[in-house]
Copies of this chain bind each other. A is one copy, B any other.
Amino acid sequence: MKTLGILGGMGPLATSDFYRKVIDLTPAQDDPDHIAVVMVANPRIPLRIAAWEGHGPSPVPALTVVARQLVAMGAGVIAMPCNTAHYWYAQLQAAVPHAQFLHIADEAMRAVAARHPQARHIGLLATHATVKMGLYQASTATFCPTGASILRLDDEAQNQCSASITAIKAGNLAQGAQALQPAVKALIAQGAEVIVLGCTELPLVMQSLSKAVPLIDATETLAQAAIAACNT
């Protein structure tokens, strides 16, 4: 059984949510049945959105240091519960060639394709950076049937989604839940057959969302993939 490395801290609450999901999804009767985990949660990794927008330092050097620390601690599989940071996925995987670095959007879209093979209109709730960098569009092209595509929110709904993420990062879950409702409604109105929670803060308020269409929690799919990868 391999050790799971969690490249965390982006943000801490999302990291904690991911770790809890790894535990909850592991069939276990006692402590030794669980996966060994090493985690580094450095909340001072340069901010990802600012870096992607070109007005902040790159997070790659700090992320690379942490990825190598995790490998040095024994991690054979690495999961990074932050969608936006996957913009630098190729560089990070290259920095730790002997570890399996999971890709959150790939795992989410694999799950969409498996659970909702008929879906062609896929809603995405994510940071504006994740949306604009095309992270989920690329994973959809790889894992979903021809014709499946990611719906785009208009600017107002996207801004509300981003405000929700900011509120959750500040620990205001009720405010975050409320701010997210218009984006969910907009995606349903646009014909979304399934909605992906493609920012790791959003599952923290998932229970308050409309169940009118199925929701896919990218964090949960990453946890499932991590358990499977550690058990191979």
Contact = CB atoms under 8 A, between A and B. Distances in A.
A11 B34 contact: yes
Contacts of A226: none
Q: How many protomers of this protein does the assembly include? A: 2
A8 B16 CA distance: 13
Nearest to A16: B20
Interface string A143-173: 0000000000000000000000010011100
A67 to B, nearest CB: 13
A12 B23 contact: yes
A175 to B, nearest CB: 13
Assign chain A's interface to a size class.
35 or more
Contacts of A9: 31, 34, 36-37
A32 B9 CA distance: 9
A47 interface: yes
Interface in A11-35: 11-13, 15-16, 19-20, 23-24, 26, 28-35
Given A20-B20, A28-B170, A69-B73, A33 B40 contact: no
Contacts of A30: 11, 166, 169-170
A33 to B, nearest CB: 7
A38 interface: yes
Nearest to A21: B16
Contacts of A24: 171
A35 B15 CA distance: 13
A43 interface: yes
Interface string A172-190: 0000000000000000000
B23 A16 contact: yes
6 contacts: A10-B31, A12-B23, A20-B20, A23-B171, A30-B170, A32-B47
Interface of A: 6, 8-13, 15-16, 19-20, 23-24, 26, 28-45, 47, 69, 73, 166, 169-171
Given A15-B19, A36-B41, A39-B39, 15 more contacts: A6-B39, A11-B30, A12-B26, A12-B31, A13-B20, A16-B19, A23-B171, A31-B44, A32-B47, A34-B43, A35-B43, A36-B42, A36-B44, A40-B73, A73-B73
